[in-house]
Amino acid sequence: MAATATIALGCASALAQAPGSATLQRIKERGHIMCGASQGVPGFSQPDNAGVWRGFDTDFCRALAAAIFDDPDKARYSPLASKDRLIALQGGNIDVLSRTTTWSISRELNQGLAFTAINYYDGQGFLVRKAANLKSVRDLSGATICVSQGTTNELNLADYFRTHGLTYQVVTFGSLDEVAKAYDNGRCDAYTTDMSQLATNRLLLKNPDEHMVLPEIISKEPLGPWVRKGDPQWFDIVRWTLFALIAAEELGVTQANVMEMTRSQNPEIKRLLGVDAAFGEQLGLTRDWVVRIVRHVGNYGESFDRNLGAGSRIGLPRGANQLWTRGGLQYSPPFR
């Protein structure tokens, strides 16, 4: 059963943990992985009515748990506000942050954290009331705009409005719930964050149909899982688990056919699934780590469709997150 433990923030565990110490070893001893999650973004990470975490970012933690324990439920989730998520990772309260977090140079250079790989290409947009009859972000000059503290969105908003000579009043909030409620209650004229979250958070408003997203995308928000710097083995595991999900989709390896695919004669599939390569063992896992991942979670495309895409109530298009072989940007380096 997936637990829903909320982990208190603090620095005690940071002190207990020497730099370079083996995260994988600690996870194995503990018996589960500790995953930083969102405060409830439908489709990305959110507990369902039974308290079981679900979503595209949750699936990634399930994939890690599958790779390590052959059991995707050996993961616990800590819901983190935007302003707290990097601190939680720095302090050792979580092993991995899998929560709509943008890769940027200042975060990587100044925070002691390492970005592993991009699981979702996003960009920042604006949600507004249809009744306001706005056509573009430029029509928001003089408006009041709601945004979450500690996000790239706060900084992009300032840049964009300054560059375009627009005035605005910003209202920042410390949690997702506060920012969404404030917008819903008319405290601001617009709500800005990553496009994917606007699409999903709109569903949480009182009357979703009364709101619309403006056409402009004002930034690049490459999202994906983060780890602490200083443990190269754990970095490699997290990075290559994501690439394994993408490579499985590229090679047509699915949750339904993965066992059959272990008998494939395709040399790339043989290496990916550990039939003809020992990458899993080199990572400190088992040879069949990718078989475990795909058997329990499916491939990248299956997770996308189930949580965000055609098979979900959100219905986001694959867009830039389509595979490179189909005109998108998702691309796994070779398993060789």
Ligand X SMILES: N[C@@H](CCC(=O)N[C@@H](CS)C(=O)NCC(=O)O)C(=O)O
Nearest 5°: the CA angle 222, 62, 221 is 10
- Closest-by-Cβ residue to ligand X is 38
- Closest distance of CB 186 from ligand X, Å: 18
Q: Which of 75, 86, 176, 199 binds ligand X (CB under 6 A)?
A: 176
User: Among residues 152, 139, 217, 213, which one has the least CA distance to residue 183?
Assistant: 213
Amino acid identity at 315: G
Number of separate helices (H) and strands (E) present in the chain: 14, 14
**Hey, how many other C-beta atoms are within 10 angstroms of the C-beta on 327?**
10
C-alpha to C-alpha distance for 118 and 288, rounded to whole angstroms: 24
- Closest distance of CB 271 from ligand X, Å: 34
Binders in 90-109 for ligand X, by CB under 6 A: 99-102
Q: Which of 23, 46, 93, 193 binds ligand X (CB under 6 A)?
A: 193
C-alpha to C-alpha distance for 67 and 36, rounded to whole angstroms: 18
- Closest distance of CB 182 from ligand X, Å: 11
Residue 263 tokens read as: 């008998």
- Closest distance of CB 276 from ligand X, Å: 38
User: Among residues 73, 49, 64, 32, which one has the least CA distance to residue 227?
Assistant: 64
How many chain residues touch ligand X (CB under 6 A)? 20
- Closest distance of CB 287 from ligand X, Å: 35
Where does 188-320 show beta strands of DSSP type E?
A: 190-194, 211-213, 221-223, 226-228
- Minimum CB distance to ligand X smaller for 121 or for 279: 121
- Minimum CB distance to ligand X smaller for 39 or for 241: 39
- Minimum CB distance to ligand X smaller for 82 or for 332: 82
- Closest distance of CB 76 from ligand X, Å: 17
Binders in 108-167 for ligand X, by CB under 6 A: 148, 151-153
- Minimum CB distance to ligand X smaller for 184 or for 194: 194
- Minimum CB distance to ligand X smaller for 99 or for 296: 99
Q: Does 201 bind ligand X (CB under 6 A)?
A: yes
DSSP 140: G
- Closest distance of CB 194 from ligand X, Å: 5
**Hey, how many other C-beta atoms are within 10 angstroms of the C-beta on 256?**
12
Q: 235 and 116 in contact (C-beta within 8 Å)?
A: yes
Nearest 5°: the CA angle 131, 172, 181 is 50
Contact string 65-84 vs ligand X (x = CB under 6 A): -----------------x--
- Closest distance of CB 102 from ligand X, Å: 3
- Closest distance of CB 7 from ligand X, Å: 15
DSSP secondary structure letters along 251-289: TT--TTTHHHHTT---HHHHHHTTSS--HHHHTTS-TTH
Nearest 5°: the CA angle 191, 50, 1 is 115
Contact string 23-42 vs ligand X (x = CB under 6 A): ---------------xx-x-
Binders in 205-224 for ligand X, by CB under 6 A: 221, 223
User: Among residues 136, 132, 201, 208, which one has the least CA distance to residue 173?
Assistant: 201
- Minimum CB distance to ligand X smaller for 101 or for 299: 101
Give me the residues that bind ligand X (CB under 6 A), please.
38-39, 41, 82, 99-102, 148, 151-153, 176, 179, 193-194, 197, 201, 221, 223
